[in-house]
Structure 1
Amino acid sequence: MKFTDGYWLLREGVTAAHPAEVLDVVESDGVLEIHAPTRPIRSRGDLMTGPVMTITAHTPMPDVVGLTLTHFTGERPREPAFDLTEAEPAPLLSYDDAYATLTSGALSVKVARSGPWHVEFLAHGRTLTSSGPKGMGIMRDAATGGHYLREQLNLGVGTSVYGLGERFGPLVRNGQVVDIWNADGGTATEQAYKNVPFYLTDAGYGVFVDHPGKVSFEVGSEAVSRVQFSAETQELTYYVIHGPTPKDILRKYTALTGRPALPPTWSFGLWLSTSFTTSYDEETVTSFIEGMRERELPLSVFHFDCFWMREFNWCDFSWDPRVFPDPEGMLARLKAKGLHISVWINPYIAQRSPLFTEGRALGHLLRRPDGSVWQWDLWQPGMALVDFTSPAARDWYAAKLEALLAQGVDCFKTDFGERVPVDVTWSDGSDPERMHNYYTYLYNRTVFDVLRKHRGEGEAVVFARSATTGSQQFPVHWGGDCEATYESMAESLRGGLSLGLSGFGFWSHDIGGFEGTPTPALFKRWLAFGLLSSHSRLHGSSSYRVPWLFDEESVDVLRHFTRLKLRLMPYLYEAARVAHEEGTPMMRAMVLEFPADPGCAHLERQYMLGPDLLVAPVFSDAGDVTYYVPEGTWTHYLTGRTVTGPRWVRERHGFLGLPLLVRPGAVLPVGAHADRPDYPHADGVTLRTYGLERGAQVTVRVGDVTFTVVREGDTLRASASDPAAPWALAAGDRVARAAAGSGFLTLETPDDREQA
């Protein structure tokens, strides 16, 4: 929120108290505690009044330094709090007449002990960011009675800010006002389903504000050369995270807040939904699945949306007997076709649901301060919320899901979780303001834990809409309610790239748009984008998304890009493993891979899928597309043509094409199967090489097998750590194949151009 009226004045009713100087520093157990009066101390009389801010410098792990700002320490501890990992760092503390310094890894925070208040964060002798006089402060608003803690961190010339969750506006946050407050606002507004109080810069650092409630960010907006953040609290902690690269920042941020689980291989295939308000029964479902089979369209997951349950009964977790009289038999029949099954759920319990009476009697529903159950009529008549702060309520909810798993359900679409009230009392005494965003973490963790327990590690996956810090541990997340327009397709991509820059490894969206019915041309363009995303789902609101309802060419486009994705699974699943182990998302904003290229700073209509594939979706019927190519000679994967950057390129593509470029120097593992995602990826894999320079050595991991490719002069030599399975080495049209038991291959490439 904004506190000032221009440069000199405060807004009417606002008062501010800023640290003026350091009074003293106390060192204890790897922590620096700094006492900073908010007026210069000229005499002992100035020691009689406050406010005085206490600033504590500490570190949870190397290259991460936190500052905790405190006004009154007597406030009752407020829960919940983010669950953070500490790595037992060994900070270096020092202070002299000039500075008090805490160093963790390569990152130091220095607080000036003499002169005006000044805090500086440095790495390798370079200032990353700083907070000067009138930056940090205690802000009061007489109109609301609000008490806020605020910080302003300097924003260097040319520094771009990213992240803060899944946001659908411009990818670069500079100039924006962002409130971290989950809302069900669609993809066409400034509201967001997934709010994360973490931002990443291309200047070597990121900042995480460790506050689960509402945090207001002014990103180069109220003060145009600073990032400001504030929260209504007596204590506020933030962490500066040193990279130096954006990937390094994400790796350290996700080490602190949690990394994504690795989704099961089958989840990377195509998901087909009933859609939302459409009419369907088993006959409808079977006709869709048979239609996909007859048209040779590989399908991995079938999803039942809301109306698998009876109207006004959401959620009672019972199949509507009028349209699904034999759910166990139906699910067995579907699974016999090789499908996995997903069903829609949410944390809301409608008054008509039998679970409302049960949950009220057991005390599992969220209550108002007077003890009555909190209810309203939006979304479902008389609905209540499950109180996930109660372990008993979590177990109760989990038991309902376990019954569905026993029937044959494999995973859940965990919808909603954003409309969480603050005029309530939580069973564990949590602060309502802090629980608003945090609720989604408890909700999705409860569901994910059920799946992990009953399906096993590596088999749990959800399709979640709402999220906050830490929710990245429970993939997958999808982008919410978008419209069937090119503009909404573009805003969805911006949201996904922003979420990836906020620590989330896996992301999806409704192919074709949710609201409205796409034109055949839009549907086909969105199919290409959707199948080149980490996860791919056909879903809509009031109309089906099976391709033959649009036109026959849509069938061809879906088949083409589905098979393309399945053949790329050896490459994609390795990118998924990296997201799981290192926190680097599968879908990467260009700045994440090319932070030193200024041409990539603002790119938001293209992305890297893994480290080596550049994807530029087409946002027009005619197929015109403009995209940027970084340095080097890149190869169009679908045509073999090459393009050399850095430069902008304009092209026109038919519906079976789009810019899909392979990075120079890449070795791309391509699978032998195009009918399903969960095949042995190393069995029959082809290692396709692209522009390897002489002397280059590239290591590629495919499942449990590691391949090493070396170019020696005009010869490519490759070896496999496990030669049991057959594999191949390719450069352009030249292919060498290894039989089972052969762990080495050579391939002559006398002309560099033949590697394109």
Structure 2
Amino acid sequence: MPGRAFLGAAQGQADIRQFGTPDGSYRIDDRLLAQCLAQSIDGVDNATETLVVRGRLTGPGCDVAYSLAFDAAGANQLRFRLQLDGPKAAQLNRSYLRHASSADERYFGLGQQLTWFDQKGKTIPVLVQEHGVGRGLPGFTQLFDLLEGGGGGSEVSTGAPAPHYLSSKLNSLFLENTEYSIFDFQHPERVDIKLFTSAMTGRILYGRTPLELIREYTAYAGRMPPLPDWVGRGAIVSVQGGTDEANKKLNTFERAGIPLAGLWIQDWPGVRITNAGKQLWWNWELDESYYPRWDALVDRLARLGARMLVYINPFLSTEAGHDSLYQQARQADYLVKKQDGTPYLIRNTNFDAALVDLSNPEARTWIKNVIKNELLGRTRASGWMADFGEALPFDAVLANGNDPAAWHNRYPEEWAP
């Protein structure tokens, strides 16, 4: 945009409130204390394979030098890196990028967006959070918000965002940063990106089709491997309520001659009664009183050509009698902590649970072994739902000084594999 700044910086103070049932929804109010939204370009250095634009960003209470470096990250990828320099740079914790658009350009992407396909005219936050319990059901969502502390979701809440878009004019850009960002498509003539850290890194992609652009992005972000053939050989049915209930459902399917690929049994660790109804014991051990004759059930599925599927999340029960893994993780220092060094217990309806610190490589190995022993081993599962990676608090203390603001969006990526 000729004559307009395409970079900016600011000092902000964010008020972050976690809420909902379960805790996993967020409200972020950002108060700006200083803004550098005026930009100068003082020089361009292209003596090497990296082109560097240098200048200053100024504004009320703000004056800082910057460098914006461009280099090839591949045949069709141009990496850019914004760096602030000088004695006042450390005070700044927001960065801005602006580029030209047009009124007829449409924007798509930003991860799993559940409301709009075209985001032109919208502002989309890239923030992992609960997508909304009962979201979209008239009356239910409003009742849940009222009775259970919010968490019914909004038009922009999602558990799987991504700071990447492509447009109808085949413009495509993504951020490598995992910190909270906001993509503003409200203005007809431009796109504004706000990132909640001062060092912005991203890539501009080239492609002749949307598919080529997606391939470029997934070459960086990763691609889901093909699903195994067996998932397409019949229905995958959700069953809860114990062994007898599962066998009753299998009898119904057999009599009807319906091919079955698997049973998904979420409540394999047993259930507790809460003010939300029935919820699981998050101890990740088979409840053999609730599911007696489990092995016979898995064997029956195998004879039908079907598989067992289960459920897990990265929380650990602290309830006496169901806290074996919690005690192990606490003793080994594998839990997300509060500022005072104690385990960060996160509220879910009327119980608390601890969260495994996936920024700790040893904790990742430990929970992976739990999955191997309890899910692959004891339950003989062929797959599972890896749920609830969105609740890492922004004020947590992580292993090795890792920044929870950068790890909040990263956490579900580490949990999903």
TM category, shorter: 0.7 to 0.9
Q: How does 1:496-515 map to 2 (within 5 A)?
A: none
Say whether residues 1:170 and 2:116 are aligned partners.
yes
Q: Percent identity?
A: 19
Q: After TM superposition, give the deviation of residue 379 of structure 1 in Å.
A: 4.7
Give the equivalent residue in structure 1 for 2:340: 370
Q: After TM superposition, give the deviation of residue 317 of structure 1 in Å.
A: 1.8
Q: After TM superposition, give the deviation of residue 183 of structure 1 in Å.
A: 0.9
For 1:400 and 1:38, locate their aligned partners in 2 and report how far apart those are by CA, in whole Å.
Answer: 50
State the secondary structure of the residue aligned to 1:300: strand
C-alpha contact 1:21 1:38 (8 A) present in aligned 2: no
Give the equivalent residue in structure 2 for 1:274: 239
Say whether residues 1:62 and 2:40 are aligned partners.
no
Taking a change above 3 Å as real, the CA distance of residues 411 and 379 of structure 1, as seen in their structure-2 partners, is: farther
- Identify which of 204, 207, 217 aligns with 1:243: 207
Give the equivalent residue in structure 1 for 2:400: 428
Taking a change above 3 Å as real, the CA distance of residues 305 and 315 of structure 1, as seen in their structure-2 partners, is: same
Say whether residues 1:283 and 2:238 are aligned partners.
no
For 1:430 and 1:38, locate their aligned partners in 2 and report how far apart those are by CA, in whole Å.
Answer: 29
Q: Pick the structure with more strand per residue.
A: 2
Q: Deviations over 1:318-376 (max 9, x none)?
A: 22222212322322232222111100111111211221111111111111122110003
With normalisation by structure 1, the TM-score equals 0.45
Question: How many pairs align?
Answer: 355
Say whether residues 1:405 and 2:405 are aligned partners.
no
Give the equivalent residue in structure 2 for 1:261: 225
C-alpha contact 2:243 2:294 (8 A) present in aligned 1: no
Give the equivalent residue in structure 2 for 1:710: none
- Identify which of 34, 38, 49 aligns with 1:18: 38
Q: After TM superposition, give the deviation of residue 380 of structure 1 in Å.
A: 6.6
Equivalent AA in structure 2 for residue 34 of structure 1: V
State the secondary structure of the residue aligned to 2:412: helix
Equivalent AA in structure 2 for residue 272 of structure 1: V
For 1:396 and 1:12, locate their aligned partners in 2 and report how far apart those are by CA, in whole Å.
Answer: 41
Taking a change above 3 Å as real, the CA distance of residues 56 and 3 of structure 1, as seen in their structure-2 partners, is: closer
Say whether residues 1:328 and 2:273 are aligned partners.
no
Say whether residues 1:193 and 2:164 are aligned partners.
no
Q: Deviations over 1:659-716 (max 9, x none)?
A: xxxxxxxxxxxxxxxxxxxxxxxxxxxxxxxxxxxxxxxxxxxxxxxxxxxxxxxxxx
- Identify which of 381, 400, 412 aligns with 2:351: 381
Please identify the structure whose Cα radius of gyration is greater.
Answer: 1
For 1:341 and 1:333, locate their aligned partners in 2 and report how far apart those are by CA, in whole Å.
Answer: 10
For 2:330 and 2:415, locate their aligned partners in 1 and report how far apart those are by CA, in whole Å.
Answer: 18
State the secondary structure of the residue aligned to 1:19: strand
For 1:168 and 1:308, locate their aligned partners in 2 and report how far apart those are by CA, in whole Å.
Answer: 31
Taking a change above 3 Å as real, the CA distance of residues 371 and 241 of structure 1, as seen in their structure-2 partners, is: same
Q: How does 1:401-550 map to 2 (within 5 A)?
A: 401-403=371-373, 404-407=375-378, 408-445=380-417
State the secondary structure of the residue aligned to 1:376: strand
For 1:389 and 1:157, locate their aligned partners in 2 and report how far apart those are by CA, in whole Å.
Answer: 42
Equivalent AA in structure 1 for residue 376 of structure 2: L
Give the equivalent residue in structure 1 for 2:129: 183
C-alpha contact 2:318 2:353 (8 A) present in aligned 1: yes
Give the equivalent residue in structure 2 for 1:32: 51
State the secondary structure of the residue aligned to 2:358: coil
For 1:38 and 1:399, locate their aligned partners in 2 and report how far apart those are by CA, in whole Å.
Answer: 50
Taking a change above 3 Å as real, the CA distance of residues 428 and 14 of structure 1, as seen in their structure-2 partners, is: closer
State the secondary structure of the residue aligned to 1:306: coil
Say whether residues 1:209 and 2:175 are aligned partners.
yes
Equivalent AA in structure 2 for residue 412 of structure 1: W
Equivalent AA in structure 1 for residue 331 of structure 2: A
For 2:371 and 2:33, locate their aligned partners in 1 and report how far apart those are by CA, in whole Å.
Answer: 51
Q: Which runs of 5+ in 2 are unaligned?
A: 1-7, 11-30, 137-153, 273-278
- Identify which of 78, 102, 107 aligns with 1:161: 107
Q: Which runs of 5+ in 1 are unaligned?
A: 5-10, 40-48, 76-137, 446-756
State the secondary structure of the residue aligned to 2:351: coil
Taking a change above 3 Å as real, the CA distance of residues 350 and 258 of structure 1, as seen in their structure-2 partners, is: same
